[in-house]
Chains A and B, each alone.
Chain A
Amino acid sequence: MTAAARWVGKEVVRKDAYEKARGLTKYASDMFPENLLWVATHRSKYPHARIKRIDVSKALKMPGVVAVFTHRDVPNNRYGVFVKDRPVLCDDRVRYIGDPIALVAAETKEDAESAVEEIEVDYEPLPVVTDPIEAMKDSSYPIHDGGNVSRRTRITFGDVSKGFSQSKAVVENEYRTSTQIHAFLETEAGISYIDEKGRITVVAGGQSPYRDQHEIVSTLNLPPEKVRVIIPQVGGAFGGKDDISVQIHLALVTWKTGRPARLVWDREESFLSGTKRHPSIVKMKTGASADGRLMANDVEIIYDTGAYVALGHAVLDVAIENCNGPYKIPNIDIKAWLVYTNNMVASAFRGFGAPQVIFAMEQQVDQLAKELGMDPVEFRLLNALRRGDVMVFGNRLETSVGIAKCLEAAKNTPLWSRQADFKAVKTYPWIKRGVGVAAAVKGYTIGALPDRGTISVELLLDGGIAVKGSFTEIGQGVVQSVSQIAAELFSVDIDKVEIVFADTDKTPDTSVTSASRQLFLAGNALKEAAKNMIKHVAQFIEKTYNIKVDNLRFENGYVVGRDFKISFSELANAMARSGVEREVSGTYEVPRVQPIPGSLEIPHLFYMFGVSLALVEVNTLTGAVSVPKLVSIADVGKVINPQTLTGQLEGAAAQGIGYALLEDPKIENGILKTTNLSTYLIPSIKDIPEIEVIPVEDAEESGPFGAKGIGEIGIISVAPAIANAIYDAVGVRPKSTPMTPEKIYWLLKNKC
């Protein structure tokens, strides 16, 4: 089938491209239902304080105010996927600057914003816990009952002391990475209303309509059939919309007032109250034998989850799983902590815990290669996991492992093979050039946790098909990829494929759009749905026309059997006349793996791999680092749409450059100082170089047409590749992100 593919692997222009380019697409923040109430949020002024009194009486008397809501209006005021530690509206305590305390619903935006200022809260400030290492001590002030260590675990395989005794080179370092803010173009935004069936309907940016619905009904104590969640086109998510933001608040307002509502966070609110990438402290001692084989990795991982756990427990698992890189290492000892502080809230962000530890490990690997006098790519190739190998956790890799192919591709790239030429380019005497490499691994799907997804397909009367699933379009292009897979499986023109997505009323549960899983899950479920459709159609034809059907297949808009051919539209109309269901579904369930002791979801059954190569220019008189060229290599199994794939990898590389060099949130005693885009700098177009994307297709037999995940792998190895390139250029190693001009400058200054 792949050989004659008509749609899969083809550069088909995204269906949403024209309407997005013309500004016609309606995002949640573009929606203004009639008679709406504007909602504004009163937020904590302290990073940590007891609430002694909340007085909303003045706010209620303000012009245009219809209602003010506090925790008293929320039946079950705690939510959270792993730990229910987060209040919908704060009651006894605030735990970070920006924690929501009250909502004002008013007739105009200005009325709502003015009234929010009139809410009075009496606080008793509590000690502010900001340093995760301090937070881990028994003496630190507990942010939650049970203390500030939310999760601790230790995972060992083999014997690291034996591994170090067999090592010729041992390097030991501490690395730190900072918070990263998603900074999506569209902030957290949504509207709500009562739909025609009387349901509270929330239309908001998100990554999982069914989970958002669950959090609404469980906190507001409503029957699930009374709440509907729709996720329209989303203006960026990157994991930052994996958690609840505006959804419960909107549902609360519409539930209590019966009126439509609109809540859109401004940029400052998004920066304060949106979730972020976990800042980390990673200590690593890594050893390699004289012949260049990794022997032992002794690791301590501390992730700062901030005020609430959110998805932190799973993020910590991914950190543990990825801290050894894509390598065979016989002896590992990993200790990990997830710690509460008053530093806002960390949760999912593209890479989900992997970029922090890979930043450490890939610099360790470079240092070992240097000590042993080996080429960094050859050293990685020697240690690279291959299919059939036993991974560090004792799990045998029975699925696609493309890291060696990625490293081979890196080796043959001019930036690596002719790096001397790139470095010899002269500009000014104070500019030094260097080239660096780093590799990455990350599981896709949600590992040893249960993971399934359902897709349904309806035959339309006009001969087209409607494909329905709860996957969300967060800009990544899943709607396009699913369209192409559907067009291929059902052998119809892509214009005949209609996609209905992310609506708990209209689409089956394909589960979360995260963990680089949706193309894989939706694609596989769609394959099942196509098989089921064949069976369903065969039955209908046998029954209706009284003929025996075998070898039924889809062909250019027709259903074709041995002795007959019937068009989709004819078939659909016949089914409609007979009152036969035209919609069937298919479900794919990821085969279950037993989690290893001490983990929730380690190991995964499926992994993606990647390599980044970076050329940097370091200005030794300013410390500024620029990246004139970056090569992003990713093992994607099979490319479904080359253009969308390039978009994913270029976007990930740009976000990785921001993480590596620019994004520097200044948090002083729990208070964010960089609350806008003029002080928290994300890359501008001038900071983004020529990015060369090299897809490596190591087919995954379990995937749709051999495809694997792609969303996250591109970001993970960017920061360590840049760090290694900086070392190559000027001989200093920052060991922390972001690698800002001032940081590099003082390292250079102190070196000489």
Chain B
Amino acid sequence: MRSLAYVDVLSPKTLEEALEILDENKGDIRVLAGGTDLILQLRKSTSFNGKLVNIFSLDQLRYIRLEGTNVKIGALTDFHTIAESPIIQKHAPFLADAARWIGSVQILNKASIGGNIVNASPAADSLPALYVLEATLTLQSKAAKRHLPISEFYKGYKKLDLRPNELLVEISFNSVKENQIGMFFKHGLRQGDAISVVNGAVLLEVTPGSHVVRDARIALGAVAPTVVRAKEAEAHLKGKKLDEKTMSEVSELVVTSISPIDDVRGSAVYRAEMCKNYVYMTLWKIAEVLRS
């Protein structure tokens, strides 16, 4: 463990100042938000010799707004706020659920959604929900602003389409519709405060009355270098009802989209099994909600 006592930390007062600092330091600087992952990584890192820009006090990046049917979340918004937000609970309830399961109360209070996205752990709990919401990320630099679908942000394991002078400032998505139903799932090795062995989110659009699936989105975490969409499983669901046969077939199909690995939390084969079984259990629970 190395000491961080001698690391230079720059603390801008405004977003503009922060973007200025990023622009000047051209990649020799890491962004410190909640710090719940970064500090631990730096303590173990032998290569980091740069500075930190501490954006934690930039309250202008803390907000949750509903603009028409568009939900906008400031990148510094912490997970406790997201879990408790009436807007999120109403317009993306499974994201609120995912936020609640990210970690302990201390983590929820400190960790930000932007940090979770940029840290790019394949097991990050907010990502599957954002994938099925097909969220848009806003990346801002001193000179420009651009928007990117979340799935295009990740280019590989911890590889991001993020320029050295850019900061993730906002996450936005369309609120779920009346005939959409979504659920988050997470398999940790204990009941609370665990890193996911697998996680995921399912968002279905059904025909009112008949409950035939019109559109399906399934995102899976911790089973590939990035979060993945289970495209074959999604396609198989379209036009079908959630009966036992369909749910079994769909859950078997998710393995075509994943490439899990062995680590201290579980073997690759177990991860694949959990992915299938959690998709099955989640579809079962969705079917139950539709029935009632």
CB distance from B292 to the nearest CB of A (A): 14
Report the Cα distance A117→B285, complex, angstroms.
Answer: 54
Residue A51 interfacial (CB < 8 Å): no
Q: Is A109 an interface residue (CB 8 A)?
A: yes
Is B50 positioned at the interface, with any CB of A under 8 Å from its CB? no
| Residues in B whose Cβ lies below 8 Å from that of A266 | 1
User: Digit string of B132-174 for contact with A (CB within 8 Å is 1, else 0)?
Assistant: 0000000000000000000000000000000000000000000
- A113 near B190 (CB under 8 angstroms)? no
Interface residues of A in 421-447 (CB under 8 A from B): 428-430
Which of chain B's residues has its CB closest to A665's CB?
A: B264
A673 within 8 A of B: yes
On whether the beta carbons of B191 and A687 are closer than 8 Å, the reply is yes
Which of B190, B277, B284, B285 sits near A683, CB closer than 8 Å?
Answer: B190
Chain A residues in 8 Å Cβ range of B280: 621
B273: Cβ under 8 A from any A Cβ:
yes
The bracket for how many chain A residues form the interface is 20 to 34
Contact with B along A397-415 (1 / 0, CB 8 A): 0000000000000000000
Contact, CB under 8 Å: B191 / A745: no
Give per-residue flags for A254-279: 1 if the beta carbon is below 8 A from chain B beta carbons, else 0.
00000000000010100000000000
- Complex contacts, A624 vs chain B, CB 8 Å: 187
- Enumerate chain A residues within 8 angstroms of B284, measured Cβ to Cβ: 428-429
Is B245 interfacial (CB-CB < 8 Å)? Answer: no
Over the window 731-742 of chain A, the binary record of Cβ atoms lying under 8 Å from chain B Cβ atoms (1 yes, 0 no) is 000000000111
Interface check B3, CB cutoff 8 A = yes
Chain A residues with CB below 8 A from B191, complex form: 626, 684, 686-687
Question: Are B5 and A110 in contact, with the CB atoms below 8 A?
Answer: yes
CB of B49 closer than 8 Å to a CB of A: no
Contact indicator B264/A666 (Cβ below 8 Å): yes
Task: Check A428–B1 contact: CB distance below 8 A.
Answer: no
Interface segment, one of A387-395, A486-494, A674-682: A674-682
Is B270 an interface residue when CB atoms closer than 8 A count as contact? yes
B192 touches A684 (CB 8 A): yes
The reply to whether B3 and A745 form a contact with Cβ atoms under 8 Å apart is no
User: Do A686 and B192 form a contact, CB below 8 Å, given A430-B281, A742-B270?
Assistant: yes
The listed residue with most B CB atoms (<10 A of its CB), out of A114, A268, A742, is A742
Q: Could you say which residues of chain A place their CB within 8 Å of the CB of B194? A: 681, 684
In the complex, which of the residues A621, A626, A666, A687 contacts B281, with contact meaning CB atoms closer than 8 Å?
A621
- A664: chain B residues within 8 A (beta carbon): 189
Q: Find out whether the CB atom of B277 lies under 8 angstroms from the CB atom of A621.
A: yes
A186 to chain B, nearest CB (A): 18
- Tell whether A740 pairs with B264 under 8 Å between CB atoms, given A428-B284, A621-B277: no
Given contacts A681-B194, A684-B190, A684-B191, contact A428 B281 (CB under 8 A): yes
Q: A685 interface residue, CB < 8 Å from B?
A: yes
Cβ of B129 under 8 Å from chain A: no
Interface presence of A622 (CB below 8 A): yes
Chain B residue, CB-CB nearest to A688: B191
A155-B185 Cα distance, complex, nearest whole Å: 53
Interface assignment of A479: CB less than 8 Å from any CB of chain B: no
Question: How distant is the Cα of A674 from the Cα of B195 in the complex, in angstroms?
Answer: 13
Q: Does B86 belong to the interface (CB within 8 Å)? A: no
Q: Which residues of B lie under 8 Å from residue A428 when comparing CB positions?
A: 281, 284-285
| Residues 278-292 of chain B, each 1 if its beta carbon lies under 8 Å from chain A, else 0 | 101100110000000
CB distance from A24 to the nearest CB of B (A): 21
**B192 in contact with A687 (CB, 8 Å):** yes
Query: Digit string of B1-13 for contact with A (CB within 8 Å is 1, else 0)?
Result: 1110110000000
Q: Which residues of B contact A673 (CB under 8 A)?
A: 264
What CA separation (Å) do A114 and B46 show in the bound complex?
Answer: 12
B3 with A684: CB separation less than 8 A: no
Is the pair A113, B192 in contact by a Cβ cutoff of 8 Å? no
Contact flags B251-289 to A (C-beta < 8 A → 1, else 0): 000000000000011110010011001101100110000
B45 within 8 A of A: no
Q: Does A311 contact B (CB under 8 A)?
A: no
User: Among residues 652 to 666 in chain A, which have CB atoms less than 8 Å away from a CB atom of chain B?
Assistant: 661-662, 664, 666
Q: Is B249 an interface residue (CB 8 A)?
A: no
| B195 / chain A contacts, CB cutoff of 8 Å | 678
B232 within 8 A of A: no
Q: Is the CB of B192 within 8 A of A110?
A: no
Contacts of B266 in A (CB 8 A): 742
A741 near B189 (CB under 8 angstroms)? yes
Expressed in whole angstroms, the Cα–Cα distance for A746 and B273 within the complex equals 10
In the complex, which residues of chain A have a beta carbon less than 8 angstroms from the beta carbon of B265? 679
- B6 neighbours in A (Cβ, 8 Å): 110
The one of A114, A621, A662 that contacts B189, using a Cβ cutoff of 8 Å: A662
Query: B187 touching A662 by the CB < 8 A rule?
Result: no
- Whether B60 is near chain A, meaning CB under 8 Å from some CB there, is no
Chain A residues, CB < 8 A from B285: 428
Distance in Å: Cβ of A664 to nearest Cβ of chain B: 8
Contact yes or no, B264 A684, CB < 8 A: no
A686 near B3: Cβ-Cβ < 8 Å: no
**Residues of chain A in range 464-496 having any CB-CB distance to chain B below 8 Å:** none
From A624, which residue of chain B is reached at the shortest CB distance? B187
Determine how close the nearest CB of chain B comes to the CB of A108; give it in whole angstroms.
8
Q: From B2, which residue of chain A is reached at the shortest CB distance?
A: A113
A749 to B1, CA, bound (A): 41
| Cα(A428)–Cα(B277), bound, Å | 13
Minimal beta-carbon separation of B192 from chain A (angstroms) = 3
B5: chain A residues at CB < 8 Å are 110
- In angstroms, Cα B278 to Cα A314, docked, is 47
Q: A266-B1, A428-B281, A674-B264 are in contact. Are A681 and B190 (CB under 8 A)?
A: yes
Query: B264 contacts A679, CB within 8 Å?
Result: yes
* Given A622-B187, A742-B270: A113 in contact with B264 (beta carbons within 8 A): no
| B104 close to A (CB within 8 Å) | yes
Q: Which residue of A lies closest to B277 (CB)?
A: A621
A621→B270 CA distance, assembly (Å):
11
A686 to B188, CA, bound (A): 12
Closest-by-CB residue of A relative to B271 is A742
- List chain B residues, Cβ under 8 A from A745: 270, 273
Q: Are A684 and B270 in contact (CB-based, < 8 A)?
A: no
CB distance from B80 to the nearest CB of A (A): 16
Check if B193 is an interface residue, CB within 8 A of chain A: yes
Cβ of B207 to closest chain A Cβ, rounded Å: 26
Instruction: Check B267–A742 contact: CB distance below 8 A.
Output: yes
In the complex, A661→B188 CA distance in Å?
Answer: 13
A666-700 interface bits toward B, Cβ cutoff 8 Å, 1 = contact, 0 = none = 10000001100011010111110000000000000
Q: Which residue of B lies closest to A430 (CB)?
A: B281
- Distance, CA A674 to CA B265, complexed state (A): 10
Structural contact, B264 and A685, CB atoms closer than 8 A: no
Residue from A268, A622, A666, A740 within 8 A of B1 (CB atoms): A268
What's the Cα separation between A686 and B193 when bound, in Å? 8
Q: How far is the CA of A741 from the CA of B278 in the complex (A)?
A: 14
* CB-CB contacts below 8 Å: A270-297 with B: none
**In the complex, how many angstroms separate the beta carbon of B274 from the nearest chain A beta carbon?**
6
From B267, which residue of chain A is reached at the shortest CB distance?
Answer: A742
Cross-chain contact of A109 among B3, B273, B278 (Cβ < 8 A): B3
* Chain B residue with Cβ nearest A683: B190
Task: Please measure, in the bound complex, the distance between the C-alpha atom of A681 and the C-alpha atom of B195, giving whole angstroms.
Answer: 10
Cα–Cα, bound, A266→B3 (Å): 13
Q: Name the interface residues of B181-225: CB closer than 8 Å to any CB of A.
A: 187, 189-195
CA distance A114 to B1 in the complex (A): 10
For the complex of A and B, the 4 pairs showing the least CB-CB separation, nearest first, are A686-B192, A684-B192, A621-B277, A686-B191
Q: A113-B2, A683-B190, A686-B192 are in contact. List 7 more A-B contacts (CB 8 A).
A: A266-B1, A429-B284, A626-B191, A673-B264, A678-B195, A684-B104, A687-B191
30 contacts between A and B (CB under 8 A): A113-B2, A113-B3, A266-B1, A268-B1, A428-B281, A430-B281, A621-B277, A621-B278, A622-B187, A622-B274, A626-B191, A664-B189, A673-B264, A679-B264, A681-B189, A681-B190, A683-B190, A684-B104, A684-B190, A684-B191, A684-B193, A684-B194, A685-B192, A686-B190, A686-B192, A686-B193, A687-B192, A742-B267, A745-B270, A746-B270
> What is the interface of chain B, defined by CB distance below 8 A to chain A?
1-3, 5-6, 104, 187, 189-195, 264-267, 270, 273-274, 277-278, 280-281, 284-285
